[in-house]
Amino acid sequence: MLKLHYNLEKISMGLVGAIIAVASVGGIVEIAPLFTIQSTVEIPDDMRPNTPLELAGREIYIREGCYACHSQMVRHLADEIDRYGPYSLASESAYDHPMLWGSKRTGPDLARVGGKYSDDWHVAHLTNPRDFVPVSIMPAYPWLMRPLDTHLIEANLATLARLGVPYDAQMVSNALGDARAQARPDGDGADGLRDRYGEGIALRAFDGDPARLTEMDALVAYLQSLGKLTNAAAALLKEDAQ
Partner 1 sequence: MAITATLTLSERRIGIGLSISLALLGLVMAAAARQGPMAVHGAIALALGLGLVFVLGGALYDHPEPGPGRLGRYYDAPTRFGIVMTLIWAVIGMSVGVWVAALMYWPEATPLWPATSFGRLRPVHTTGVIFGFGGNALIATSFWVLQRTARARLADAVSPWGVLIGFNLFVVWAVTGYLMGSTQSKEYAEPEWYADLWLVVVWGAYFVLYIRTLARRAEPHIYVANWYYLSFILVVAMLHIVNNLALPVSWTGAESFPIWSGVQDAMVQWWYGHNAVAFFLTTGFLGMLYYFLPVRAQRPIWSYRLSILSFWGIVFFYMWVGSHHLHYTALPYWVQTLGMTFSVMLLVPSWASAGNAIATLNGAWHRVRDDATLRFMFVAAVFYGLSTFEGSFLAIRPVNSLSHYTDWTVGHVHSGTLGWVAMIIFGAIYSIVPRLSGRADMAWPKAVEWHFWLAVAGTLIYVVSLWNAGITQGLMWRAYDQNGALSYSFIQSVEAMLPYYAARTLGGALFLSGAILCALNCRATMRRAGSISDAADRPLVAQPAE
Partner 2 sequence: MTTDPRALPGADPHTGNREVDPVTGYDTTGHDWNGIKELNTPFPRIALVALVLSFLIALTGWILLPAWPYGRDYTRGLLGLDQGEMAQEGARAMAGIRQDWLGRFADPDFAALAADTALMGLSMPAAGRLFGDNCAVCHGRAGGGVPGFPVLNDGYWLWGGDPETIAETLHYGINSGHPDARFAQMPAFDWMDRADRAALAGYVAALPSGRADPASAAATLFQDNCAACHGEGGTGGLLNGAPALTDDAVIYGQDVGTVMKTLRGGRQGVMPFWSDRLSAAEINLLALYVSRLSVETGRRTE
Q: Which stretch binds partner 2 (CB under 8 A): 148-156, 185-193, 212-220, 233-241?
A: 233-241
Return the number of the residue (192 or 208) whose C-beta is nearest ligand HEC. 208
Question: Under the criterion CB under 6 A, does residue 130 sit at the interface with ligand HEM?
Answer: no
Residues 58-77 that bind ligand HEC (CB under 6 A): 61, 64-66, 68-70
CA distance 165 to 144: 27
Which residue's CB comes closest to ligand HEC?
A: 107
Specify whether the CB–CB gap between 170 and 148 falls below 8 A. no
Question: Under the criterion CB under 6 A, does residue 26 sit at the interface with ligand HEM?
Answer: no
Question: Under the criterion CB under 8 A, does residue 240 sit at the interface with partner 2?
Answer: yes
Specify whether the CB–CB gap between 196 and 178 falls below 8 A. yes
Helix (H/G/I), strand (E/B), else coil: 147:
strand
> Smallest distance, Å, CB 7 to partner 2?
6
Interface mask toward partner 1 for 90-109; x: CB under 8 A: xxxxxxxxxxxxxxxxxxx-
Q: Which stretch binds partner 1 (CB under 8 A): 35-43, 173-181, 203-211, 218-226?
A: 35-43
Q: Which of 21, 103, 135, 151 binds Ca ion (CB under 5 A)?
A: 103
Please choose which of partner 1, ligand HEC, Ca ion, none residue 37 contacts, taking the beta carbon within 5 to 8 angstroms, the exact cut-off set by kind.
partner 1
Q: Is 222 exposed, middle or buried (0-12, 13-18, 19+ CB in 10 A)?
A: buried
Question: Under the criterion CB under 8 A, does residue 116 sit at the interface with partner 2?
Answer: yes
Q: Which of 5, 83, 97, 104 binds ligand HEM (CB under 6 A)?
A: 104
Q: 195-201 long-range CB contacts below 8 Å, 24 or more apart?
A: 196/170, 196/171, 197/48, 197/49, 197/51, 197/171, 198/48, 200/48, 200/228, 201/48, 201/51, 201/225
Q: Which stretch binds ligand HEM (CB under 6 A): 13-21, 98-106, 123-131, 215-223?
A: 98-106
- Taking residue 16's Cβ as centre, other Cβ atoms within 10 Å add up to 10
Please name the amino acid found at residue 107. Answer: G
Return the number of the residue (193 or 229) whose C-beta is nearest partner 1. 229
Return the number of the residue (17 or 139) whose C-beta is nearest ligand HEM. 139
Question: Under the criterion CB under 8 A, does residue 12 sit at the interface with partner 2?
Answer: no
Total of chain residues touching ligand HEM, rule CB under 6 A: 4
CA-angle at 62, arms to 112 and 231, nearest 5°? 25
CA distance 121 to 129: 10
CA distance 52 to 157: 7
Interface contacts to ligand HEM, rule CB under 6 A: 68, 103-104, 106
